[in-house]
Amino acid sequence: MTGQLAAILPDLSPLRSSRDFRLLWVQGLVTNFGSFMAMIALPLQIKDLTGSPFAVGAMGAVELLPLVVFGLYGGALADAVDRRKVILLTEAGLGLLAALLLVNALLPEPLLWPLYVVAAGVSALAGLQRPALDSLLARIVPHDQLTAAAALNAVRWQLGAIAGPALAGLIVTYAGHATAYGVTIMGFAVSVLLCLRLSPAPAAHDAVKPSLRGIAEGARYAWSRPVLLGTYAIDLAAMFFAYPNTIFPFLADELHAEWALGLMYAAGSIGSVVLSLTSGWTSRVRRHGLFVVFGAAAWGLAVTAAGWFSHIWVVLLCLAIAGAGDMLSGLGRSTIWNQTIPEELRGRLAGIEVLSYSVGPQLGQVRAGSMAGWTGTRPAIWGGGLACLASVGLLAAALPKLVTYDAATDEDALRRRAQKEAATAATAAVSA
């Protein structure tokens, strides 16, 4: 029985083997909790000020361009400078933006335009930071522990995603937006202190300066790898067509369940964390492309059901199942990325990864808000879910190498493993 339980529970090896991974795990837990507080408080404040689903959805449009520009540049930057410095400075910048939200919320009559300005600034800093964070994982965690590390990161992220939205809904309702932003500031302050303890992560001695040519080199590499293209395209399509979060406040009103708004935001994370906490078996799977396809299809099907049913508890269950599907797809994407991309391109490809899993939700907010204003809230949700299912099926058929990906036989995965083993052996020789 003990052996069976150990096979299901998350593999904790990365936490035991890497001090920097432990620090990043705790840092991410703290900052995610505060970030989710602001993520919920910001659209709620826009809704309170305007009462318009289009105004809430427009936040995604405002965030899109900074995310694209700074995400690509952040990837090139991560290959050229110390990744620890990038993480540290962007965390401090995000804390300052949260302080601006607090100041605006404390005004007798809070202004609308600063909310969009801060949303754009947060998107820019996140675009700079995420490639440095994502590309650091493959350096600090052993190659055979990458899936386990992705699962542990998912547990960390989802803990914040569950507690943050649930508490944010209560805090905004009973204590106001300013209190939620204050909690966010405290989270970033603690995060900066933890980042100061990370080991330096300098670029390679022959690293090139950030440039359009370097970004183009990373894009050409991604375009030449059908497996990578499949991970990007499926995630982008799933989020564009079936990301309903931005219209949850209106769904809660329509279902006469305003009390459940925080649970709507948290339900997907609950499903994700349940899958993450039972993810021990994923470390023994080699066909990670199937994770991507089946997980995205489950997401689309569950979102369709969430938009179709009208009983609040059934809707919440469907959203939880959607979150589990998204988590399964995310584990597959993260593992493929870290197993196959060479170190010298890791930052630039991480920048492209940021676009693949961030631009989709931003565009999805615009799609959902616009469609809800035209067809109504629930058709915007179930219609998007059906479109997600169709697009995942078409992409899987068009990119069969993603479906057949096997970590034990893929040439890029084998080459990356050999590079990591050689680097580890060289470091051990120098230490000896």
- Over residues 162-186, the pLDDT tens digits come to 777 777 777 877 888 888 899 889 9
- pLDDT at position 12: 83
Average pLDDT over residues 238-248: 88
Residue 152, pLDDT > 90, answer no
Provide, rounded to the nearest whole percent, the portion of the chain with pLDDT above 90. 27
Average pLDDT over residues 217-222: 86
Do 319 and 306 touch, CB atoms closer than 8 A?
yes
pLDDT of amino acid 386: 94
Complete DSSP assignment for 102-149:
HHHHTSSS--SHHHHHHHHHHHHHHHHHHHHHHHHHHHHS-GGGHHHH
Examine the pLDDT at 46 and tell me if it is beyond 80: yes
Is 10 a residue whose pLDDT tops 90?
no
Give the pLDDT mean for 250-269: 84
The predicted pLDDT at position 1 comes to 45
pLDDT mean over 381-397: 93
Interacting residues of 366 by C-beta distance below 8 A, sequence separation 6+:
57, 58, 60, 61, 64
pLDDT at 7: 60
What pLDDT is attached to residue 5? 52
Residues 334 and 350 sit within 8 Å (Cβ to Cβ): no
Mean pLDDT of the chain: 84
d(CA 173, CA 180): 10
Whether the predicted pLDDT of 51 surpasses 90 = no
**pLDDT over threshold 70, residue 2:** no
Residues 302-333: pLDDT tens digits?
999 999 998 899 999 999 999 999 989 988 88
Is the pLDDT at 53 greater than 80, yes or no?
no
Distance CA 384, CA 403 (A): 24
Distances (CA, A) of 16 to 19, 198, 281, 328, 390: 8, 16, 19, 24, 42
Report the distance separating Cα 385 and Cα 301, nearest Å. 6
Q: Which residues contact 277 (CB under 8 A, 6 or more apart)?
A: 9, 10, 155
Average pLDDT estimate for 216-233: 88
- Percentage of the chain beyond pLDDT 70 is 93
pLDDT at 390 over 90: yes
Give dist(CA 218, CA 225) in Å, integer: 11
Q: How confident is the model at residue 101 (pLDDT cuts 50, 70, 90)?
A: very high
CA pair distance 58, 67, nearest whole angstrom: 15
pLDDT of residue 417: 76
pLDDT in tens, 291-305: 999 999 999 999 999
Residues 6+ apart with CB under 8 A from 122: 63, 94, 97
